[in-house]
């Protein structure tokens, strides 16, 4: 997995967590 892939996945998880919180 490339660094870009990891960054993208991490950002997606963060966005999902923020959405769930609201």
What is the 3-state secondary structure of the chain? CCHHHHHHHHHHHHHHHHHHHC
Task: Give the model's pLDDT for residue 12.
Answer: 97
pLDDT digits (tens, 9 = 90+) for 1-22: 699 999 999 999 999 999 998 7
Task: Give the model's pLDDT for residue 22.
Answer: 76
Task: Give the model's pLDDT for residue 21.
Answer: 82
Task: Report CA-CA distances (Å) from 7 to 16, 18, 19, 22.
Answer: 14, 16, 18, 23
Residue with tokens 């959405």: 19
Cα Rg for the chain, rounded, in angstroms? 10
Task: Give the model's pLDDT for residue 8.
Answer: 97
């Amino acid at each position: 997995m490339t660094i870009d892939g990891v960054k993208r996945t991490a950002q997606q998880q963060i966005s999902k967590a923020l959405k769930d919180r609201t």
